[in-house]
Structure 1
Amino acid sequence: MSKRVQAPGCRQCPRECLALRPNEKGLCSSGGLRIASHNLHYGEEPPISGRAGSGTIFFSGCSLKCIFCQNYPISHMGNGRDITPAELILIMLELQERGAHNINLVSPSHFASDIREALLGAKKKGLKIPVVYNTSGYDSVKTLKTFEGLVDIYLPDMKFANAEISRKYCEVSNYDKISKAALLEMKRQAGDVVLEEGIALRGLIVRHLVLPGEILNSKLILKWILENLGNVYISIMSQYHPCYKAVGHPIIGRRLLKKEYDEVLDYAVKLGFTKGFLQEFDEN
């Protein structure tokens, strides 16, 4: 029996689009390694940003096509500049030198192999601060396993509870299945959050953005998290506003209401969550 030969092409994210990167762009709208910006960022959860800031690197492109994306010029249109893994190493070391609490890799999934190469190189050259994998939750377990021992903190979103809602808002029908498997792997690797003087050293923090008119989606997600990951740190976000293709949408084409956000917070407390973060609600 002849051995099956795997077709060439990109399989870094669950799309497995087989694009011949870097010369060909994948469904993530990306070819080679590309970043939009890097800087100290103070707007993350308190254990991530702390007082000195999180050393945030925003990668261009994305494996998802969320119609409400607030970073669509970067994620969908690919704004940014091309870099090499060697340049990424220098950026990580620069952010550490500037006093960052951590290296925060935002939307890294579709550049996983280049990022892994850079992390290995940066650690050899003296990178000591924790590494944060800040992701949409749409991650390949096989790819995540390659980061074991390199990533200290996983900061995934959990966006959609079922195929119907993910198909409606991000053009994939398997988000729920993929994200659940991914978060279980992240929890296996990183475990519960460990803090030192209020700053995270390792662990899993799960984010969820509450969508207007989709409160049941939020409740189903919170219930799954508690039943499968336990009383982990959660970050329930209220910052939704309609932009990009969500403008004029019949369901999510409006701002979130405070009563909707409060209903989700109350449900989280009712379930038994005791660790996490909320956002001050801006009614303007």
Structure 2
Amino acid sequence: MDKGANNINLVTPDHYIPQIVSAIDMARKRNFHLPFVYNCSGYETADMILMLDGYIDVYLPDFKFMSPEIASRYCNTPDYASYAKQSIAEMVRQCGGAKTNFNQYGIMQKGVIVRHLQLPGHIADSKSVITYLYNTYGDDIYISIMNQYTPMEGIEEDFPELGHKIAPEEYDELVDYAIDIGVENGFIQEGDTADESFIPAFDNEGV
């Protein structure tokens, strides 16, 4: 807090849930009041998220795929959407809807932001994700539509369709679709976000 942090961002933390609960208990006993953000893949069970009830202030899950075939091809998780639907429902129960709030600087203090990273050539699946989220939760959540997909060197050897960035017209089509169906609580990205700044150095610095 003294160094100006806005929150504590717990990234890919699923395997540490018991330790997280214990650590937050200890922090609160010491009068620690920053929001805790749970930054995750969406591939969690509802029971896992239930363990965090009362501990997490902002949930930041992905909703990567709706299609079992696409989820299986890229992540070997044909049941991805089933788990994402269950886990996000529990997140919204805990922190969504009328519980959502922002501070005077526009920084979320409580709520749910669901991210969707658009993949090249899969506009129909992306539309299915956005449709599901809006039809299910309306303005109870915020939807972040991301265009920052960055093809890693060599990926085209196994997945040729993923060997290029999102075309601007693909992203514009998805954003326009979200607006057309009524999404207002949303975030979009502008410009060429798919550059090296989104790729970690993987040199263990800062770990």
If each structure's helix is expressed as a fraction of its own residues, which one has the higher value? 2
Q: Is the radius of gyration larger for structure 1 or structure 2?
A: 1
Distance in 1 (CA, whole Å) between partners of 2:20 and 2:154 is: 30
Query: Identity rate of aligned residues, in percent?
Result: 41
Q: Does 2:105 align with 1:195?
A: no
Q: In the aligned structure 2, how far is the partner of 1:99 from the partner of 1:124?
A: 21
Q: Measure how far apart 1:178 and its partner are.
A: 0.1
Match status 1:265 vs 2:175: yes
1:215 corresponds, among 123, 133, 148, to 123
CA distance in 1, matches of 2:156, 2:11: 25
Compute the displacement of 1:97 (Å): 2.8
Q: How many residues align?
A: 189
Select the residue among 140, 146, 167 that pairs with 1:237: 146
User: Which range is displaced more, 122-131 or 240-249?
Assistant: 240-249
Q: Could you say which residue in structure 1 is the equivalent of 2:11?
A: 106
1:116 counterpart = 2:24: no
Q: Counterpart of 2:58?
A: 153
Which of 78, 82, 87 is 1:182 aligned to? Answer: 87
| 4+ long deviations beyond 6 Å | none
Q: Would the aligned equivalents of 1:211 and 1:240 in 2 still touch at CA under 8 Å?
A: yes
Q: CA offsets, 1:16-59, max 9 Å, x none? A: xxxxxxxxxxxxxxxxxxxxxxxxxxxxxxxxxxxxxxxxxxxx
Alpha-carbon shift at residue 216 of structure 1 (Å): 0.7
Shift of 1:187: 0.4
How well do the aligned residues superpose, as a CA RMSD in angstroms?
A: 1.5
How far off is 1:246 after superposition?
2.9
In 1: Cα distance, 2:179 partner to 2:128 partner = 14
Structure-2 change in CA distance of 1:244 and 1:151 (3 Å): farther
Unaligned runs of 5+ in 2: 196-207
**TM, length-normalised to structure 1:** 0.64
